[in-house]
Amino acid sequence: MRRAWSSSQVPQSALRGTGAESSFLRVTKQYLPHVARLCLISTFLEDGIRMWFQWSEQRDYIDTTWSCGYLLASSFVFLNLLGQLTGCVLVLSRNFVQYACFGLFGIIALQTIAYSILWDLKFLMRNLALGGGLLLLLAESRSEGKSMFAGVPTMRESSPKQYMQLGGRVLLVLMFMTLLHFDASFFSIIQNIVGTALMILVAVGFKTKLAALTLVVWLFAINVYFNAFWTIPVYKPMHDFLKYDFFQTMSVIGGLLLVVALGPGGVSMDEKKKEW
């Protein structure tokens, strides 16, 4: 639930922040949640469209892998297509957002099993990071759902929302563990040190908005550089691999943008500092 304090009642420590962070939030506060949502659901949107254009390939893959027959394989593809596109429409229109998130959680779980992602640590961590973004979206929808009580003073947000935000933050930083490069080059060492430090700041909720915003910029740059699928001809398999990575990373960026927009929540060092 949103706090109903006046500016005179808010602890002064809560009003302080870095100039860059404050300026960014002032300029983008009307647009940031919309951009965050669009980025977050982009991987589901892209995958739902992929199911339509690659219907036969996806069906044959499932049929071959699980020997489940033509009908069940086709049902799997249809469920993925319908579930993902419907969930995206509901999230973007802000209708039944919680149900949409639960449906998308189900899609993640289904794909994790169907595509054997459970045994691929890199892809499993990325799916968990995607789930973290959905947790943050759930937390945002709970906040909006209770905004009708904004005139009633409350000292603390609801516990479920706090722990959703904590879980979302922790899961989101898993994406960066898949981007670490374990070699002796100077650039890789600097990237690992800086990335790990920012991951820890977001996870514990210290200088959270600034750290998350820095991660957004860094992750976007890495994504455009390493996953430039538009430079690869469509008929080559690498095009699809890079496209998949690109949109999954954009979804994690969307989750981080929600952290910037919503803040770290009650279970964080930033929130505890207000009580000191």
Rounded to two decimals, the pTM is 0.79
Going by pLDDT thresholds of 50, 70 and 90, the confidence category of residue 32 is confident
- Residue 276: its pLDDT value, please? 56
Find, among 36, 31, 32, 263, the residue nearest to 165 by Cα. Answer: 263
Q: Is the pLDDT of residue 217 over 50?
A: yes
**More confident call, 121 vs 275:** 121
What pLDDT was estimated at residue 22?
62
| Residue ranges covered by each domain of the chain | 31-144+161-267
Q: What is the pLDDT of residue 193?
A: 85
Q: According to the per-residue pLDDT averaged within each range, which of 24-33, 125-134, 267-276 is highest?
A: 125-134
pLDDT (0 to 100) of residue 228 = 93
Spatial contact of 163 and 267, defined as CB atoms under 8 Å apart:
yes
Rounded mean pLDDT, 177-204 = 79
Residue 32: CB atoms within 10 A of its CB come to 17
pLDDT, mean of residues 18-29: 62
Q: Which of 104, 22, 37 is nearest to 253 (CA)?
A: 37
**Residue 110: what residue type?**
L
Asked whether the predicted pLDDT for residue 247 surpasses 80, the reply is yes
Place of tokens 């550089």: 225
Looking at per-residue confidence, does 244 or 158 come out higher?
244
Reply yes or no on whether the pLDDT at 76 is more than 80. yes
Residue 137: both structure tokens together: 């979206």
Give the pLDDT mean for 178-190: 74
Q: Which helix (H) or strand (E) holds 20?
A: helix 19-28
pLDDT per position as a tens digit, 219-242: 899 889 889 999 999 989 899 989
In Å, how far from its chain's centre is CA 35?
A: 12
According to the model, what pLDDT value does residue 238 have?
Answer: 93
pLDDT digits (tens, 9 = 90+) for 251-260: 988 988 988 8
